[in-house]
Amino acid sequence: MSDHHETPEQRFPQDVPADPAPSAPPRTTPLPTTAPPAPPRREVTHLPAAAGPNWGLVLSGLAFMVIAAGVILNQVNGFQVEELRQVGPTLLVAVGVGSALIGIIGLVTRRGR
């Protein structure tokens, strides 16, 4: 038999901590038991859909298209504003037909929705 007897409670110096960890200071404020109430949510509102075209935007767009066409014609073939008297009526008819076509396309696509 062995003469070496170890008891389960026997401790060696390396097993014992040299400086035990200091305990945390006592808590002076109690821990909250419930979460604070959530702030009330605001109701989300949406603007109504547009009922029709923005005519101010359409007219300003047409005016800018006419000005752009005049600038392009001036650069390409020397078009002058004085020549507008001869070309004016034809230009107005062309702008009217273009606007009518855009309106018809808008009506047809709106009915499909």
Mean pLDDT of 75-95: 78
List the structure tokens of 7. 């008891």
Q: Is residue 83 classed exposed, middle or buried when 0-12, 13-18 and 19+ CB atoms within 10 A define those classes?
A: exposed
- Supply the pTM of this predicted model: 0.32
User: Would you call 43 exposed, middle or buried from its count of C-beta atoms within 10 A (0-12, 13-18, 19+)?
Assistant: exposed
3-class DSSP assignment, residue 65: helix
Q: How far apart are CA 34 and CA 41, in angstroms?
A: 20
Question: What does the pLDDT look like over 23-77, one tens digit per residue?
Answer: 666 667 666 677 778 888 888 888 888 788 888 888 889 888 888 887 888 788 8
Query: What's the pLDDT at 76?
Result: 85
Rg (CA), the chain: 44
